[in-house]
Amino acid sequence: MLQFFSKYKFFGIVMLVLSAIIITIIYNVYTIDDGKTLPIYQPNDVTAELVDTTIQHVKKYHEIANFSLTNQNGQTITQEDYKDKIYVADFFFTTCQTICPIMTDHMVKIQEKVKNDPEIMLLSHSVTPKVDTVAQLKKYALEKGVNDKKWNLVTGDKKEIYDLARKSYLAAKDMPYNEYDLIHTENFVLVDKKKRIRGFYDGTDPEAIEEIMEDIKILEKEK
């Protein structure tokens, strides 16, 4: 019996080492990184009704255009304020009584989850900028508990905002009877540090919050 174990001792050690390596690999695969990546959305990937006709053909290199808008504190907000940031954007208006209150409440929950993460910000654009003055946005921000360091509610030139909605964020439906009218959607748009769209989410769906948070973690790992 001792001769048997002595004869196969080396083989046993090799098998033991191999088993340890295999277990380690399996553990890493299932508990550390599933290798998931997020798509980079182009205008050609999105439902045509949400995309301005001038860019529906674009299949690559799409990014959020530069902008200059005014936030709830009367400060000018540009791409520089979001440089090297991952952010969630949406479109709303303060007097909306349908989907906007739900969307805003869900943004508040996202804000709470990212409050200690300097890489993440939020950006909400008013689609009724004449009504949503700085004072109105400030009042709304205070009511909703907006953290000024994490979340900008912006107003500004109506055409610029509408162009951003349809030509950059791909998040609003056109209303053809008026050149500068549109219907904003419930979409939350996830933007990466290179100003590219990486996800669309139903801002009225509570489950979408967790999906956004998981996708943000994925983006934070990207180099």
Binding residues: 96, 100, 184
- In angstroms, the CA 113 to CA 181 distance is 34
Q: Are 149 and 117 in contact (CB under 8 A)?
A: no
Instruction: Taking the CA atoms of 97, 103, 109 and 111 in sequence, report the sign of the dihedral they define.
Output: negative
Q: Are 182 and 162 in contact (CB under 8 A)?
A: yes
Q: Are 223 and 124 in contact (CB under 8 A)?
A: no
Q: Are 166 and 54 in contact (CB under 8 A)?
A: no
- In angstroms, the CA 41 to CA 59 distance is 9
Q: Are 158 and 2 in contact (CB under 8 A)?
A: no
- In angstroms, the CA 149 to CA 145 distance is 12
Residues forming the annotated binding site for Cu cation?
96, 100, 184
Q: Residue 202: beta bridge partners?
A: 187
